[in-house]
A and B are shown apart, each in its own frame.
Chain A
Amino acid sequence: MLVFGLGLGAAATGCVVVKPYQRERLTERCMSPGFGDASELKFRGHWEGSRQGAEGGYGTAGGGCGCN
């Protein structure tokens, strides 16, 4: 499914070049790549790390424990 998604994405983007002046909507905060602000993700990663067996997937490294 992932490979299919990637392939579809690659095919869809093949010739698409969006010019800088066409990116007005992409500057909105909700269109920032990623899953939220740094401090928000840090806290989400923190409670997920101490309540889930798996963690990560937000592009950031963990640090410290705060879980004992």
Chain B
Amino acid sequence: MFEIFRRLWALNWAEQWQYRANLLMYLLFWLVSPIVYLAVWTTVAQSQGSVNGLTANDFAAYYMVLLVVDILTSQITIHVLAPEIQNGNLSNRLLLPVHPVLTQVLVNNIAFKALNLIALAPIWLALYLLFRPALNLSALHLALAVPALILAFGILFLLGSALTLVAFWTTRVWALWNFYSAVFMLFAGHFVPLALLPPVLQTIAKALPFSYTLHFPIQLILGKLGPQEMALNFGMQFVWLALAYVIFRVTWRAGVRQFSAVGA
């Protein structure tokens, strides 16, 4: 199994490396909205000292960490898998003795992530020098962030894959993805730290998986969480990982049965 992943990595890394110019464009797209929100909230915080106890520096630190966490936990499964389902190329992969999504698509996601991180590093440094947030990082919190980030990626990868599998039934999977993205942005803490959402929305955020995949790792790295909150959030991550896995398995089984490749 290790050998399979090693080969897949070599393949996918080469493939992603080939599209490095596209990757820079993708990065540009994806950087703009966090920087806009950073600017908006620091302006608000500066004009009145603080917002709900958060200073301009808190916002800058939050969004600077968000840039890294979001790359580490996000997934591009729909871009990889939906075309394969729609043009029928998935048939070839189904013949292989390994699960196509949990090997090929997974490794492709990780290769993309690795290249993105390399490209982000100089941009992040430049932004850091422009905004100069005071970051209080501790080795303990960074160490705890590692499992939190892995779990978060696991949850988002499985949910994103399950959503992509809807392409087995309908060609409208992109519209669904659009909707999912909007829900994600609001409830994951992409737009604003969750403490600033109205109480109703905060309650909804706690019931959805997204805050545990973005907001929790950020707050963990920033050292904003006590031991009890950490334990609770880790617990929720495990619950959501299990749930996401079940959702993914069920959709996959039903979807493959439904699948009839183009031309068949």
Q: Do A and B bind each other?
A: no
